Structure 1
Amino acid sequence: MLTRLRELRDLNGKLVLITGASSGLGKLVAYEVAARGANVVLCARNLKALRKVADKCKEISQTDAYVVELDVSDPDAIDRQLTHVLQDIGSVDILVNSAGFGIFESFQKFDMDKAENMFRVNVLGLMYVTQKIAQQMIDSGRGQIFNIASVAGKIATPKSTIYSATKFAVIGFSNALRLELRPLGIQVTTVNPGPMDTNFFKRSETSSKYFESVKFLALSPEKVTHQITNAMGYPRREINAPAYMEAIHRGYELFPKLGDRLASSSLFNRK
């Protein structure tokens, strides 16, 4: 049922919509798909930063780059803005759900208003965007959706309770959605990176301190970007980076007691 998926291997002239495109992984994906000839729709709250990304995409591709001011925590804004995209710009071939954030604190001290907001952005916002675009992809008979989750959605560690919960939810949602959409010609690919050297951890002082403690493990965001763009047009189920984290996850499932001890050790409890 995914015979038309291979049409997306050539990104020239394809329309790629990216949330969280003003910075980090979303921005880098925008640059790389633009370099491969794609037209990009860049979505985020920071309009000034988005315009800079769009200008660079245009310079790279010599083709169109569209800017959409979008708060993915607002369902009404998602419906309104994406309706405009589909009506005024065209059908989306590839969706990259990159919007998200993390706060790393002990649960007993966690501000639950922040927890609710994290779920609205990381989980519900992703779902609203995906539903809107997937409906159009079904009509087109092809498409690919990349949901940026995290290794934290497979291996939970101390002080990542809320963040891990959101990413476990994204992975579970993606796994079920993959089964629903595959017969309709749409591929769902989950991306599970470990810590990356981006501005993701600059949102709060606590997150910044956490990143400094795990910086030696940090992935190159450019490498993850290549893995994502190289998977476009292919029936790739998951991208796990670094690859050894998937082996650790498998071991965790087989030996959960040992996994708990390792996950709570000083190596993983640096937040």
Structure 2
Amino acid sequence: MKQQILTDKKIIITGASSGLGESLAWQIAKKGGIPILLARSTEKLQQISTSLHEKFAVLTPFYPVDLSNKPMTKKVVHTIISEHNPIHGLINNAGVGVFSEVNHISEEAISKMFQLNVEALIYVTKQLLPYLLQQEHAHIINIASQAGKVATPKAAIYGATKHAVLGFTNGLRMELATSNIIVTAVNLGPVKTNFFRTADPEGKYEQNVARYILNPDDVAKKVAACLFVRKREINLPLWMDIGSRIYQLLPGLCERLLRNQFSKK
């Protein structure tokens, strides 16, 4: 049944040139959907589009765009709407992280995280929203993070951006509760992607959490399976979801008991 749900559905994916975004494109195409790819790298997008066409005989449109550039983003969104009507879904996946203590992080890194993780996500959603409200049904999925539920040292800024994504997602869901649009947040622990090249260039954190790290293909399968299914949140891994729930009830105790675990970055 879920295979049929995605047949011929056109879904925009931001940050689609690698990692989870690329895996999502493959899963959607595999299930009969049409991923529309957004990212900065023309070369990478072309390679993915060609590979998907060869594997699944699906035409995969792609649009190189710097999502921190609002005029460029607006133009691309309007072009997609005019060229690929109807659009059925949006997965806001693009994001960046830099792990550093507040006292040492650069202003440039702070701005970059908020521009891409928060402002771009909101801006793309806002540009598409009037159009999606006119469709029979639609789905907006925002890739957030477990860091948006449990803040940790060296991720105060990154965690703040993901807190913002969760706040935006929850508020948007309530605003659209009686509409045709489903709104879902995806809260992930560490995922094996290029994210860590920027967030953790020394590889310390990735090494420390190696046994817990999520496979992007496994995550993509679960997200794709929930497309056009009314679901509030997807939380992975399960143990981290349980931990975040306990943290909400006993934050002080958790911070004391898990101090060493929280400081693995």
2:256 is equivalent to residue 269 of structure 1: no
2:164 is equivalent to residue 169 of structure 1: yes
Distance 1:247 1:240 in 2: 9
The corresponding residue for 1:141 is 136
Q: Is the contact made by 1:8 and 1:14 (CA closer than 8 Å) also made in structure 2?
A: no
Q: Is the contact made by 1:9 and 1:233 (CA closer than 8 Å) also made in structure 2?
A: no
The corresponding residue for 1:130 is 125
State how 1:233-244 maps to structure 2 within 5 Å. Answer: 233-244=228-239
Segment drifting more, 136-145 vs 22-31:
136-145
Q: Is the contact made by 1:9 and 1:234 (CA closer than 8 Å) also made in structure 2?
A: no
Please, which of 8, 28, 31 is the counterpart of residue 33 of structure 1?
A: 28
Change (3 A) 1:63 1:242: same
The corresponding residue for 1:3 is none
Q: Is the contact made by 2:2 and 2:225 (CA closer than 8 Å) also made in structure 1?
A: no
Change (3 A) 1:202 1:7: closer
The corresponding residue for 1:14 is 9
Quote the offset at 1:207 in angstroms.
Answer: 6.3
Distance 1:204 1:246 in 2: 22
The Cα offsets for residues 180-211 of structure 1, whole Å up to 9 and x where unpaired, read as: 11211100100001001111111255463321
2:147 is equivalent to residue 158 of structure 1: no
Change (3 A) 1:160 1:207: farther
Quote the offset at 1:9 in angstroms.
Answer: 5.7
Change (3 A) 1:14 1:245: same
The Cα offsets for residues 245-264 of structure 1, whole Å up to 9 and x where unpaired, read as: 2211111111121122134x
Q: Is the contact made by 1:150 and 1:191 (CA closer than 8 Å) also made in structure 2?
A: yes
Segment drifting more, 216-225 vs 99-108:
216-225
Segment drifting more, 196-205 vs 127-136:
196-205
Q: Is the contact made by 2:135 and 2:180 (CA closer than 8 Å) also made in structure 1?
A: no
2:212 is equivalent to residue 217 of structure 1: yes
TM-score w.r.t. the length of structure 1 is: 0.93
2:75 is equivalent to residue 80 of structure 1: yes
Distance 2:26 2:251 in 1: 40
**Unpaired stretches in structure 1, ≥5 consecutive residues:** 1-5
Q: Secondary structure at the match of 1:139?
A: coil
Distance 1:87 1:143 in 2: 17
Residue type of the partner of 1:247? I
* Paired residue total: 265
The Cα offsets for residues 43-77 of structure 1, whole Å up to 9 and x where unpaired, read as: 00011111111111212321210010111111111
Q: Is the contact made by 2:200 and 2:206 (CA closer than 8 Å) also made in structure 1?
A: no
Q: Secondary structure at the match of 1:266?
A: helix
Change (3 A) 1:184 1:204: closer
- % identical equivalent positions: 35
> What RMSD over aligned residues (CA atoms) do the two structures have, in Å?
1.6
Q: Is the contact made by 2:4 and 2:32 (CA closer than 8 Å) also made in structure 1?
A: no
TM-score w.r.t. the length of structure 2 is: 0.95
Please, which of 50, 56, 64 is the counterpart of residue 61 of structure 1?
A: 56
The corresponding residue for 2:251 is 256
Segment drifting more, 179-188 vs 17-26:
179-188
Segment drifting more, 68-77 vs 25-34:
68-77
The Cα offsets for residues 203-236 of structure 1, whole Å up to 9 and x where unpaired, read as: 2554633212221211121211111011012101
Q: Is the contact made by 2:13 and 2:37 (CA closer than 8 Å) also made in structure 1?
A: yes
Residue type of the partner of 1:268? F
Residue type of the partner of 1:235? R
